[in-house]
Amino acid sequence: MTTIPPAFRSFVSENEPLSRHTTLAVGGPARWFARVDGREDLRALVRHCGTEGIALIYLGAGSNVLVSDRGFTGCVVRLGGAFCEIDHEVLDARAIVRAGAAVKLGKLLRYGFDHGLCGLQSCAGIPGTVGGAVMMNAGSKLGEMKDSFLDCELLHRDGLVEVRDREAMRFAYRTSSIGADELVLSARFNTTRGPVDALRDEVERFLEFRKATQPLQFHNCGSVFSNPPGDAAGRLIEACGLKGARVGGAEIAEQHANWILNRGAATATDVLALIQLARNSVRERFGVVLHTELRLLGDWTADEIDSIRETTNDTSYSRGGGAS
């Protein structure tokens, strides 16, 4: 039987409930859960899983994922320690900021302001990590990760590290070229040096607006669907009369129809059922196919995955490709 040897046990636990590591607070246990603080341990673990055929999933802050109630039979990797570091290099009027993959976007934003660096405002209000946000090209009205992105370091399953630049990232709306078997280790961002007060004020106004308009009192994962071209997923779901619709402990938010809330005891299956309901209703009523921004992770069945995905090119499911 494949296993994780004792050498890794200081940072790998067994049967860890993934509901503790997702902002929706749903998801079953991971057979193994690794909190990895340094590159040597990470490389050794990834190589071991490769040799043993243990599937891997990479998790950031868990703010854009729906993990199956069955959990995951492989190993979930979450970065910490040395991957939480930030520094910068000054080049005349510019500075390049380098952030580890586990740095929270709020911390990166504050770092920029504290050091008089402008250009990181796309991080505002997004509760993810640098790794997850770069992978997703996260963004808002203030911009997207791609705007200031310079390059990132990626770890492949064979232990090799690649530096991928902006062009090779093929950034588009909430996607990039990063695959499920590639792990972001760090990323570098372009900034300009100068007074930050006006930008800080703009960011603060934006954060106040979000606080007033988002249903943050319950566990959630932000927007569930990407906006279709020229429209808003929330508007379409609301027009189908689905605000407040419930399955089990999950609810389509009254305040924002593109959000699903865990009202206390929701399961991932409840959330999936609401995603199917919203998707089917919008397609029937408007002929518009909504695509999930949320990523399905873990041991979902093929039928469950197909129920919320239109084409085989849809990347909203990433079980972790196992090890070859």
Ligand X SMILES: Cc1cc2nc3c(=O)[nH]c(=O)nc-3n(C[C@H](O)[C@H](O)[C@H](O)COP(=O)(O)OP(=O)(O)OC[C@H]3O[C@@H](n4cnc5c(N)ncnc54)[C@H](O)[C@@H]3O)c2cc1C
Smallest distance from ligand X to CB 195, Å: 26
Active site residue 223: yes
Residues in region 251-290 near ligand X by CB under 6 A: none
Q: Are 157 and 181 in contact (CB under 8 A)?
A: yes
**96: which strand partners?**
89, 190
Q: Which is nearer to ligand X, 95 or 103 (CB)?
A: 103
Q: Which residue has the tokens 């946000």?
A: 133
Instruction: Examine residue 220 and tell whether it contacts ligand X (CB under 6 A).
Output: yes
Instruction: Examine residue 175 and tell whether it contacts ligand X (CB under 6 A).
Output: no
Active site residue 70: no
What single DSSP character describes residue 59?
A: E
At a CB cut-off of 8 Å and minimum separation 6, what does 70 contact? 28, 298, 299, 300
From 75, 95, 135, 247, residue interacting with ligand X (rule: CB under 6 A):
135
Instruction: Examine residue 119 and tell whether it contacts ligand X (CB under 6 A).
Output: no
Q: Which burial class, exposed, middle or buried, applies to 26 when counting CB atoms under 10 A from its CB (0-12, 13-18, 19+)?
A: buried
Smallest distance from ligand X to CB 84, Å: 12
Active site residue 174: yes
Q: Which residue has the tokens 């770890």?
A: 155
Q: Are 293 and 223 in contact (CB under 8 A)?
A: yes
Residues in region 81-110 near ligand X by CB under 6 A: 101
Q: Which is nearer to ligand X, 4 or 297 (CB)?
A: 297
Q: Are 43 and 34 in contact (CB under 8 A)?
A: no
| Site residues (vs ligand X, CB under 6 A) | 23, 57-65, 101, 125-129, 131-133, 135-136, 138-140, 178, 183-184, 220-222, 295, 318
Positions marked active-site: 174, 223, 293
